[in-house]
């Protein structure tokens, strides 16, 4: 430890001594009455200048500045003296005070205001702050007035070797290809030192390898790591750990050091060929296996990894090269043998193949290691199986004309049993593909016949499935698709492509094209459609219009003259015969409606009327029927209206006479009210008009004929009136002969004990003028309206 401290002090004071020797004097010329300034504790002498020289020189400040230095990390018992400030204005009478301001003034640096000594009172770290800028000024001790302008100076912190090198990006990872030559660059690392790189060797680093030899080496100055051994094999060892050291002070004794780790991984190159695990492989397969099924797998091992281990497999020889194929599985790195064509145990029972595995990616640098491929032999044994029937063709295409006769043969399918036993075959149609049962098939010979008529215009193609089943083993079934194309025959007449309506201007010119029409035909002749157009024989010499066939198979209608007048005739109907070119040809008649309209001078239609005039061909039967139906409908409506009016004017109730007088039955005795059951006859409550019979209704016809109700006999005394009324109400509700309107029954008997008394005016002995009905308003809201009605009646009489 003492040796270590001595080396540090030597390194510290050596540059200070050199600085003392080599530091040139740096002074400013002071004014005439000022003395030299002590700076940094070093006395500087000022040569006396002649009077002439002082006159020629420009007046300058009395401060002499230079950089001050302080050692970092100094931790003595007393504050360290950094330097001293002095001005020649100070005669030593202690009348001048020195003031220090700026970075760290008062906290890090402290000045003696009398002597100007600057001390560092805290430990300094150059790595935190390398220099401080301060301002010094001399002021009067008593008045604090500045004696000179302030001036700046710098205190620099001198570095010591107190920081070890650091690898900021460690630990490191690098890769290098296997089998690399000696000196192949792997990577480079970098360490940093926080010490001053300019001052001394504190930041001068030297690199070395502590672990990882003899495989790798490092450049001491650049820290580039290289391979130290050639042809390192990844298959032998893939990963290496290297420990790297960085030491400052140029690597000399006493320097600080730091370490890091570097993991070097050898990447793979294709330096190993593939090799089959065995030279002979055996597989067996049933003869009825589905095409594309995997029969077996072979694998060639490769010590390389990734794409360098990828191998492609091929069949290079053998008697089954046409029936089998081999594909490569990129994930499992093996070869899959699959069936390409069907096998037949009865034809051949075993096959021998020679397969080869070769690397996909080869490296020419290692071609001397031999061919990067290997071969193996594969033997495949075919096993017998009960096979389903085999059709003579995988698909069938049949054609039939749409006018073919029923039960006619369309075509035939054939199938056989490939097994040695050769079972008979039975044919059938999958009815899921022939829901309408348009076809039949002979179960023995496979002939397909027509069951229902065909129409090409409804469906051109019919796709059915034929099933072949072994009679000896019904589980052995085969299916084959059969496409049946319906051929066209000329069974549809041509017609207009759409409903045409032409407009003819009154001011049109002769020969003007009124309308261009085209025809369509549901049939499809081989040479395409060709239509012939003509007018009806009786319309050949039509004075108004003519037709012209166009090259595009369309027809133009032309006007023969001008001067059409819609007031004279508004609509023309022109029948046109359209014939096709079939064998035999078919034709139809289509009518073109031509409407005469008023047009502008440039031929734009402005207005048209809708009344039609039929050319001399007569009205059609449909038009006559429509007109007759409209007339009959109008007559029916009129008859119904008259009948309803007459029926409404007749009375609803048939009476024996036309006496419409009111029937009033007078009773002088009011009786004892509801409490008196002895003084009234219940028969008087009946309707006097309906006692001797019933009143038939003219407005309805009863569904059931009811017998006339007989008059009720007098009821014995003691019968409940409420019950009697309910019975009569029930009878009236269920009697279809009862009037459909409310009827008023008048009762002269009100009973005894009524609070309201009698309201009948028939029994009143007073005159109309003496009546006063204001008291009715006192009986409540139900009688208020009645009092108002009687009052209104009295007032009307007085008026």
Closest CA to 531 of 547, 520, 522, 523: 520
Tokens coding 540:
């050949």
Record the tokens describing residue 773, joined without a space.
Answer: 């009905």
Highest mean pLDDT among 94-103, 370-379, 598-607, 750-759: 370-379
Query: Which of 46-55, 145-154, 155-164 is predicted with the least confidence, judged by mean pLDDT?
Result: 46-55
pLDDT > 70: percent of the chain:
74
- Would you call 668 exposed, middle or buried from its count of C-beta atoms within 10 A (0-12, 13-18, 19+)? exposed
Mean pLDDT of 459-470: 93
**342 or 728: which leads in pLDDT:** 342
Contacts of residue 157, defined as CB under 8 A and 6 or more positions apart, other chains included, come to 69, 70, 71, 72, 124, 125, 126, 129, 130, 131, 132
Average pLDDT, the chain: 77
User: Which pLDDT band holds residue 26 (cuts at 50, 70, 90)?
Assistant: very low
Lowest mean pLDDT among 299-303, 337-341, 524-528, 596-600: 524-528
Angstrom distances, CA of residue 280 to CA of 297, 350, 374, 433, 749: 12, 15, 12, 50, 132
pLDDT of residue 323: 92
DSSP string covering 103-168 = TTBTTTEEE-TTT-EEEE-S---TTT-SEEEEEEEEEETTT--BSS--EEEEEEEEP-S----B-T
Supply the pLDDT for residue 36. Answer: 30
Q: Which residues 6+ apart lie within 8 Å of 357 measured at CB?
A: 274, 276, 298, 300, 311, 312, 313, 335, 373, 374, 375, 376
Q: Say if residue 748's pLDDT is above 80.
A: no
Stretch 181-191: mean pLDDT:
91
Structural domains of the chain ordered from first start: 67-158 (2.60.40.60), 172-267 (2.60.40.60), 275-383 (2.60.40.60), 390-487 (2.60.40.60), 495-607 (2.60.40.60)
Contact yes or no for 597/607 (Cβ under 8 A): yes
**Is it the case that residue 249 has pLDDT exceeding 90?**
no
Give the integer Cα–Cα distance in Å for 774 and 777.
Answer: 6
Q: Highest-confidence range of 14-28, 262-276, 733-747, by mean pLDDT?
A: 262-276
Q: Is the pLDDT of residue 114 over 50?
A: yes
pLDDT at 468: 95
Residues 274-283: tens digit of each pLDDT: 999 899 999 9
Between 389 and 713, residue with greater pLDDT = 389
Q: What angle do CA 82, 87, 89 make, to 5 degrees?
A: 155
pTM confidence score: 0.39
Query: Distance between CA atoms of 152 and 134, rounded to whole angstroms?
Result: 6
- How does 651-661 read in b/e, with b if 16+ C-beta sit within 10 Å? eeeeeeeeeee
User: The tokens of 366 are what?
Assistant: 């290692």
Q: What pLDDT score was predicted for residue 336?
A: 94
Say which DSSP state 504 is in. E
Distance (Å, rounded) from C-alpha 23 to C-alpha 25?
7
φ and ψ at 578, to 5 degrees?
-115, 125
Euclidean distance between CA atoms 591 and 618, whole angstroms: 13
Nearest 5°: phi and psi at 722? -60, -40
Give burial (CB, 10 Å; 0-12/13-18/19+) of 51: exposed
pLDDT at 168 over 80: yes
Which tops the pLDDT comparison, 784 or 310? Answer: 310
């Amino acid at each position: 430890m003492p040796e270590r401290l001595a080396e540090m002090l030597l390194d510290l004071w050596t540059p200070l001594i050199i600085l003392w020797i080599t530091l040139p004097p740096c002074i400013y010329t002071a004014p005439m009455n000022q003395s030299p300034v002590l700076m940094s504790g070093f006395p500087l002498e000022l040569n006396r200048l002649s009077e002439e020289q002082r006159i020629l020189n420009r007046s300058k400040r009395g401060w002499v500045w230079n950089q001050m230095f302080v050692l970092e990390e100094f931790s003595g018992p007393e504050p360290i003296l950094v330097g001293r400030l002095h001005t020649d204005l100070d005669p030593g009478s202690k009348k001048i005070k020195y003031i220090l301001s700026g970075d760290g003034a008062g906290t890090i640096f402290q000045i003696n205001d009398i002597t100007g000594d600057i001390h560092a009172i805290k430990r300094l770290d150059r790595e935190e702050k390398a220099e401080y800028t301060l301002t010094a000024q001399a002021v009067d001790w008593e008045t604090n007035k500045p004696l000179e302008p302030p001036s700046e100076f710098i205190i620099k912190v001198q570095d010591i070797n107190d920081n070890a090198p650091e690898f900021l990006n460690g630990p490191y990872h690098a890769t290098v290809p296997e089998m690399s030559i000696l000196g192949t660059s792997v990577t480079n690392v970098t360490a940093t030192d926080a010490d001053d790189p300019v001052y001394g060797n504190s930041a001068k680093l030297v690199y070395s390898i502590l672990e990882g030899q003899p495989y790798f080496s490092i450049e001491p100055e650049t820290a580039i790591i290289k391979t130290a051994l050639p042809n390192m094999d990844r298959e032998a060892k893939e990963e290496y750990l290297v420990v790297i050291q960085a030491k400052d002070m140029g690597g000399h004794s006493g320097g600080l050091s730091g370490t890091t780790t570097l993991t070097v991984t050898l990447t793979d190159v294709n330096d190993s060929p593939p090799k089959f695990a065995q030279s002979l492989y055996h597989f067996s397969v049933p003869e009825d296996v589905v095409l594309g099924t995997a029969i077996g797998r072979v694998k060639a091992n490769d010590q390389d990894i990734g794409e360098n281990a990828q191998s492609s497999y091929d069949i290079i020889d053998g008697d089954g090269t046409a029936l089998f194929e081999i594909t490569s599985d990129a994930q499992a790195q093996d070869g899959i043998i699959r069936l390409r064509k069907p096998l037949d145990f009865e034809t051949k029972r075993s096959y021998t193949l020679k397969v080869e595995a070769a690397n996909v990616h080869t490296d020419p640098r290692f071609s001397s290691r031999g061919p990067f491929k290997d071969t193996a032999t594969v033997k495949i044994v075919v096993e017998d199986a009960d096979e389903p029937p085999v059709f003579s063709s995988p698909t069938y295409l049949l054609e039939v004309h749409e006018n073919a006769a029923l039960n006619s043969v369309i075509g035939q399918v054939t199938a056989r049993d490939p097994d040695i036993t050769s079972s008979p075959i039975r044919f059938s149609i999958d009815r899921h593909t022939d829901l309408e049962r348009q076809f039949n098939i002979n179960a023995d010979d496979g002939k397909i016949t027509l069951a229902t008529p065909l129409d090409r215009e409804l469906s051109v193609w019919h796709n059915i499935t034929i099933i072949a089943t072994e009679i000896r083993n019904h589980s052995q079934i085969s299916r084959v698709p059969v496409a049946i194309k319906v051929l066209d025959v000329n069974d549809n007449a041509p017609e207009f492509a759409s409903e045409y309506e032409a407009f003819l201007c009154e001011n049109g010119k002769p020969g003007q094209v009124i309308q261009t029409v085209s025809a369509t035909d549901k049939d499809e002749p081989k040479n395409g459609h060709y239509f012939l157009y003509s007018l009806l024989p009786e319309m050949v010499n039509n004075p108004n219009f003519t037709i012209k066939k166009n090259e595009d198979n369309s027809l133009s209608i032309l006007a023969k003259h001008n001067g059409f007048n819609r007031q004279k005739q508004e609509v023309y109907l022109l029948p046109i015969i359209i014939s096709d070119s079939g064998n035999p040809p078919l034709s139809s008649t289509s009518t073109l409606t031509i409407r005469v309209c008023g047009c502008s001078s440039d031929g734009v239609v402005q207005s048209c009327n809708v009344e039609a005039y039929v050319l001399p061909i007569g009205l059609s039967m449909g038009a006559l029927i429509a007109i007759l139906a409209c007339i009959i409908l109008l007559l029916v409506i009129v008859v119904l209206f008259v009948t309803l009016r007459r029926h409404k004017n007749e009375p609803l109730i048939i009476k024996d006479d036309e006496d419409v007088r009111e029937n009033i039955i007078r009773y002088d005795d009011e009786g004892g009210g509801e409490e008196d059951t002895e003084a009234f006859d219940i028969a008087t409550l009946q309707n006097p008009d309906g006692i001797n019979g019933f009143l038939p209704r003219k407005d309805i016809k009863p569904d059931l004929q009811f017998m006339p109700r007989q008059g009720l006999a007098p009821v014995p005394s003691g019968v409940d009136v409420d019950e009697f009324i309910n019975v009569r109400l029930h009878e009236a509700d269920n009697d279809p002969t009862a009037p459909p309107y409310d009827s008023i029954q008048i009762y002269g008997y009100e009973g005894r004990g009524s609070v309201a008394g009698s309201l009948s005016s028939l029994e009143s002995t007073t005159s109309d003028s003496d009546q006063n009905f204001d008291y009715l308003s006192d009986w409540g809201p139900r009688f208020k309206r009645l009092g108002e009605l009687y009052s209104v009646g009295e007032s009307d009489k007085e008026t």
